[in-house]
Amino acid sequence: MKVYKNGHLAKTKVDGREPNVLTRTHHWLGRSAWAGDEYFNGTIAYVKFWHGVELQQLDVTELYAPHNKPHHFWDFRGCTAGEAVIDSTNGELMATPMNGPACGAHGISLDGNDEYVDIDGWEWDGTTSIEVYVKHDSIT
């Protein structure tokens, strides 16, 4: 796994672990599958997924070019509180706000206590690249 921050490689982890092929029942933004883990406190502007693609530094540098079309894209900028955001790439998968997060021009704001986003289940596996634009306030 490679983690980029502001377009630059920040960390690489190679442990051979890949997600199994399965349809997951929970896809959450802002919380973990484990009850004891902390919630994200901050704002998520958008999330994009690319299946079968491992982004390299050049790809990250050019991420905002229109030719890099993700397989899934949830844009939370300008969302409406309490309403699900539709995957704008395929129009099928919904990202539903849970426990009342606020929406605004910059995205969906999670309080770090119990708010998160629940994304519909779908099957994915193997090489996957994820771009998330966030403003991290803190983890509580």
The pLDDT tens digits for 12-69 are 777 755 555 556 667 788 888 778 888 888 888 888 776 666 667 777 666 655 545 6
Report field, pTM of the whole predicted structure over 0.85 = no
**What integer best gives the mean pLDDT of the chain?**
79
| Domain limits, the chain | 2-13+26-139
Burial class (CB in 10 A: 0-12, 13-18, 19+), 101: buried
Between 81 and 29, the higher pLDDT residue = 81
Q: What sign results for the dihedral spanned by CA atoms 70, 118, 14, 112? A: positive
Instruction: List, in sequence order, every beta strand (DSSP E) within the chain.
Output: 2-5, 8-12, 22-23, 27-29, 40-51, 72-75, 85-86, 94-98, 102-104, 107-111, 116-119, 123-124, 128-139
Output the pLDDT for position 71.
Answer: 78
pLDDT at 86 over 60: yes
Q: What is the pLDDT confidence band of residue 6, given thresholds at 50, 70 and 90?
A: low
Instruction: Please compute the mean of the pLDDT values over residues 79-85 and round it to a whole number.
Output: 94
pLDDT at 139 over 60: no
Output the pLDDT for position 68.
Answer: 53
Output the pLDDT for position 110.
Answer: 92
- Tokens 């990202």, located at residue: 95
